[in-house]
Structure 1
Amino acid sequence: MNQLDQLKSMTTVVADTGDIDAIRQFTPQDATTNPSLLLKASEDPKYAHLLEQSINWAKVQGGSDSEQLANMTDHLAVLIGSEITKIVPGYISTEVDARFSFDTQATLKKAYRLIELYEAQGISKDRVLIKIASTWEGIQAARELEKKGIRCNLTLLFGFAQAQACADAGAYLISPFVGRILDWYKKQNPEADFTGENDPGVQSVTRIYNYYKANGYDTVVMGASFRNTGEIISLAGCDRLTIGPSLLEELAAATGSIEQRLVAANASSQDAKVGPTESAFRWGMNEDAMATEKLSEGIRNFAIDQVKLEKLLASKA
């Protein structure tokens, strides 16, 4: 049995891509997208017909240039997501515009709009996870959405304060990042050994997983943003792992034995169960330079790719 099949026996594998062909190849349970992945897909000629559909649809809807552009990008994200739901049996995660990361009401409005567009495509909200950055404002939007039966994927999660707040808000799923945490620590200390369980990203997800399981939280932990298969193998047993096509391919080609590292029944945590106040959350982030810097960087980069996607659509309109 190859390593990918072994991993699937311990963990729900999710494809981290907007490439429909890659999803079809690796048969994951779920799939996640983000503005960067949608931009990459949109630049591929095989998706030109989806861009054209979204552009034409937005023109029919009318409105100002900015309203039409927002409609194009939302509709395209939903069209690609709808195609993915024909392949995966589980969820498709679709991301709210990163520029709304510090605006709870704008995040809510965009989330409702995405669900409305999915339903117009015949896709129930039960198949969709609304993907939101794990800012204080984003987490509060998720709290409201979950109350209305709209499940959320809290992304760009780097710090423990974020994880505590997401669980307290009742988020369906979180995406704690691994590789980007490693990137930060390697930059700070390039000579250190960060392999295997020394990887600070692996340590972060392990701590969060054990805290959630030991305290009875239902929130799903889905490790994300991997730099190598060693990080993935070190988190075997995590609820879910979202993995890009190149690493899925490596796992499918490897035959070494994988040991389950995370087991809910064995979870224990020295962290007190806390639902942080806003001030406690902000202080926790302030004390965690890595989480603060990587969250801000991630939001900026997603926003940059969102603008690039808008410019691409505008150039073809």
Structure 2
Amino acid sequence: MNQLDLLKKFTKIVADTSDIDSIRKYKPEDATTNPSLILQALNLDANQYFINKAIRYAKKKGGLNQDKLINASDKVLVDLGIEILKYIPGYISSEVDARLSFNQEKCILKAKKIINMYEEEGISRKRVLIKLASTWECIKAAEELQKDGIFCNLTLLFSFAQARACAEANVFLISPFVGRIYDWYKSQNLISNLSFDKDPGVISVYKIYEFYKKHNYKTIIMGASFRNIQQILSLSGCDRLTISPILLKKLALNNEIFDRKLIPPNKFKVPPIPLTEDEFRWEHNQDEMAVHKLSEGIRNFGKDQILLEKIFSRLI
């Protein structure tokens, strides 16, 4: 049994890719996408069909030029999601435009639009997770969306305050970014040649996992953004792990045995009083790494969204 097969015994595996061939090969439970992955997928000649279909859709919808660009981008997001769903039994995560991350109402409207587009194609909302950045506004948007049966994946999660606020809002799933946390500490020369049980990204998920399970929160923890298989194996037993095709391949080629690392407790404690908005903002801003990486992540996903729209601007 290879490490990927063994890991599947402890944890649900999610493919962090829009590459259909990789999804077919590694047979994950779910799949996640983001603007960067959508761009990569559209650079493949085999996916020109999705671009052409999105352009036809946008032209049919009409409106101002910016409306057409937004509609084309939303259409390609949904159509790639529908294609991926053919090869997985679980959820596809589709990301809301990162430029909306500080507007609760616009995030809700965009999420409902994406879900409606899936449902128009016969895909139940029960198979789609709306990806939102883990800002206070998006956490509150997810809380409202869940009342309409729309479940969310809160991404770009770096601080414990973000994780706690998500659990207290009964968010469906969170994605703590292990590798990006590690990258920041490395860039600041705050770590060197450490063992993986001291990896700050891994430790952040340990802390979240212990807090969630101890207080019996139902929010799913999905570790994300890995730099190596050691980080992944250190989190075996986490609810879900979303993994790139490169690391899925390494796990599939490695037969070394490992033990489950994360095990839920037998006893539960009463949860603390939920954070208020000002408490959340204060706690999050005490974490320099989290403030930097959340801001950077939103900016970069926003840039990729703009690049996606530029592809369509030349064709519409």
Q: Give TM-score scaled by structure 2 length.
A: 0.97
CA distance in 2, matches of 1:292, 1:262: 27
Instruction: Give the aligned partner of residue 229 of structure 1.
Output: 229
Counterpart mapping for 1:48-87 below 5 A: 48-87=48-87
Q: Secondary structure at the match of 1:303?
A: helix
**Matched AA of 2:16:** D
CA distance in 2, matches of 1:70, 1:191: 42
Q: Give the conservation status (yes or no) of the 8 Å contact 1:14–1:28.
A: yes
**Matched AA of 1:224:** A
The runs of at least 4 consecutive aligned structure 1 residues that moved more than 4 Å come to 266-269
- Measured on the aligned residues, the alpha-carbon RMSD in Å equals 1.4
CA distance in 1, matches of 2:288, 2:192: 19
For residues 142-166 of structure 1, the C-alpha deviation after alignment (integer angstroms, 9 at most, x for no partner) is: 0100111111100000000000100
CA distance in 1, matches of 2:199, 2:20: 31
**Matched AA of 1:4:** L
Q: Give the conservation status (yes or no) of the 8 Å contact 1:210–1:268.
A: no
Q: Give the conservation status (yes or no) of the 8 Å contact 2:95–2:131.
A: yes
Shift of 1:315: 1.7
For residues 209-242 of structure 1, the C-alpha deviation after alignment (integer angstroms, 9 at most, x for no partner) is: 1100000100000000000000000000000000
Shift of 1:192: 2.2
Q: Give the conservation status (yes or no) of the 8 Å contact 1:211–1:268.
A: no
Instruction: Give the aligned partner of residue 280 of structure 2.
Output: 281
**Matched AA of 2:225:** S
Shift of 1:188: 1.3
CA distance in 2, matches of 1:54, 1:103: 26
Q: Give the conservation status (yes or no) of the 8 Å contact 1:104–1:141.
A: yes
Runs of 5+ in structure 2 lacking a partner? none
Shift of 1:90: 0.2
Counterpart mapping for 1:147-296 below 5 A: 147-189=147-189, 192-265=192-265, 273-296=272-295
The answer to whether 1:88 aligns with 2:88 is yes
CA distance in 1, matches of 2:250, 2:120: 38
For residues 272-314 of structure 1, the C-alpha deviation after alignment (integer angstroms, 9 at most, x for no partner) is: 7342100000001111000000000000000000100110122
Q: Secondary structure at the match of 2:252?
A: helix
Q: Secondary structure at the match of 2:262?
A: coil
Instruction: Give the aligned partner of residue 100 of structure 2.
Output: 100
**Matched AA of 1:11:** T
Shift of 1:9: 0.5
Number of aligned residues: 316
For residues 173-214 of structure 1, the C-alpha deviation after alignment (integer angstroms, 9 at most, x for no partner) is: 000110000001011126623331111000000100110000
CA distance in 2, matches of 1:266, 1:185: 33
Q: Give TM-score scaled by structure 1 length.
A: 0.97
Q: Secondary structure at the match of 2:302?
A: helix
Task: Decide whether aligned partners of structure 1 residues 268 and 296 sit closer, same or farther in structure 2, where only a CA change above 3 A counts.
Answer: farther
Instruction: Give the aligned partner of residue 127 of structure 2.
Output: 127
